[in-house]
């Protein structure tokens, strides 16, 4: 069953400015003389006015592009994904095997060469991201980043970052702490996932959550993606604590809980604080020992319809507070 009800949450603190029309100049045919009212020539801006405008508008955002050319983890040949991320973190390619175009800044992008397909298997440590970046993969069915059960896949613990991941499968991440596949602990930051699959990850420690994804104190947006086959002590698929979460056209299926006590909740999704909105999203065949086989919701702005799950209490959804 799909979740189709949508509630718009208050956009506090946001100001929408009206767009202004751009004048269109009509070309005059060659040799024609001007007709109609006299047109006064436009005054050229002074250097002072240009300088003031530059200060008010601020500098243009800088961006570099790096292309991953190797499907290895870090073998010293070509440009690996780990080296590309390290280059973004450091603001330069340094001694890596990577090349870049543009100037490193706040809108850097990592692309993949057409030859990089199949699986990138990590060698035992997380891919740690400390600067904003857009990782643009070839497609979830084309490329998998696999931690081989030895580490997380991606880890973000720096505040105010903008992380966007598109067209990847993130698989077999493992951690004894929060976030098996992705740990996103970025106060004021945003994690955006598009056209991706988060599967087969686990957060196996006691009282930890987010087998697939753990989000804390930021914004989580997932669109046209699948979260499946992940396990954790709580929030088998996704654990959100203090996150503004939006799932659009997402399949949250076959996730489960590994614990067997009062803290083992939310086989598919666990929302403790923050806000949540599920749009055209399916949450099914998830399971837990305790509460909320599909979803355990303890927040005030949780918008969803009933769905399926297996649990001791609230086999489908377990509602608390003002969740509706």
Q: Is the pLDDT of residue 267 over 50?
A: yes
Q: How far apart are CA 112 and CA 5, in angstroms?
A: 37
Which one has a higher pLDDT value, 218 or 271?
Answer: 218
Question: Would you list the domain boundaries of the chain?
Answer: 152-324
Q: What is the predicted pLDDT for the residue at 321?
A: 36
Q: 157 with 184: CB under 8 angstroms?
A: no
H/E stretch holding 48: helix 47-57
What DSSP line would sit under 223-235, residue for residue?
EEEEEES-EESB-
Residue 98 phi, psi (nearest 5): -95, 155
Q: Is pLDDT at 117 greater than 50 in this prediction?
A: yes
Quickly state the pLDDT bin for 26 (edges 50, 70, 90).
Answer: very low
Q: Give tens-digit pLDDT for 159-194.
A: 999 999 999 999 999 999 999 999 999 999 999 999
Write down the pLDDT at residue 22. Answer: 42
Cα-only R_g, the chain: 24
Q: How far apart are CA 101 and CA 314, in angstroms?
A: 53
pLDDT band, residue 94 (cuts 50/70/90): confident
pLDDT in tens, 228-261: 999 998 889 999 998 999 999 999 999 988 756 5
Nearest Cα to Cα of residue 227 among 285, 174, 274: 285
Q: Which of 34-38, 232-236, 301-305 has the highest mean pLDDT?
A: 232-236
CA dist., res. 173 & res. 150, Å (int): 7
pLDDT at 78 over 70: yes
**In the block, which residue shows the tokens 């702005």?**
301
Q: pLDDT averaged over the chain? A: 78
Band of pLDDT at residue 29, cut at 50, 70 and 90 = very low
pLDDT score of 207:
83
**Least confident among 23-37, 255-269, 295-309:** 23-37
């Amino acid at each position: 069953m799909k979740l189709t009800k949508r509630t718009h949450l208050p956009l506090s603190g946001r100001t929408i400015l009206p767009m202004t029309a751009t004048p269109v100049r009509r070309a005059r045919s060659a040799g024609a003389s001007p007709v109609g009212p006299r047109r006064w020539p436009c005054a050229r801006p002074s250097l002072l006015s240009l300088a003031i405008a530059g200060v008010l508008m601020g500098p243009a955002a800088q961006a570099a592009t790096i292309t991953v050319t190797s499907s290895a983890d870090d073998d010293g040949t070509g440009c690996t994904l780990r080296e590309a991320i390290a280059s973004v973190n450091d603001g330069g390619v340094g001694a890596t095997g990577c090349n870049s175009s543009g100037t490193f800044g706040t809108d850097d992008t990592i692309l993949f060469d057409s030859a990089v397909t199949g699986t990138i298997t990590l060698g035992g440590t997380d891919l740690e991201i400390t600067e904003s970046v857009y990782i643009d993969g070839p497609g979830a069915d084309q490329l998998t980043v696999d931690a081989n059960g030895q580490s997380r896949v991606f880890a973000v613990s720096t505040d105010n970052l903008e992380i966007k991941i598109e067209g990847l499968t993130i698989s077999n991440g493992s951690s004894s702490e929060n976030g098996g596949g992705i740990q996103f602990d970025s106060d004021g930051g945003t994690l955006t996932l598009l056209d991706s699959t988060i599967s087969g990850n686990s957060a196996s420690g006691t009282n930890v959550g987010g087998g697939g994804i753990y989000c804390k104190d930021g914004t989580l947006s997932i669109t046209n993606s699948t979260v499946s086959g992940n396990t954790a002590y709580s929030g088998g698929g996704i654990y959100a604590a203090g996150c503004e979460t939006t799932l659009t056209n997402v399949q949250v299926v076959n996730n489960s809980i590994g614990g067997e006590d009062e803290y083992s909740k939310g086989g598919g999704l666990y929302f403790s604080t923050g806000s949540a909105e599920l749009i055209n999203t399916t949450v099914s065949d998830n399971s837990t020992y305790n509460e909320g086989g599909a979803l355990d919701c303890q927040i005030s702005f949780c918008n969803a319809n009933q769905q399926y799950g297996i649990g001791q209490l609230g086999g489908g959804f377990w509602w608390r507070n003002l969740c509706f």
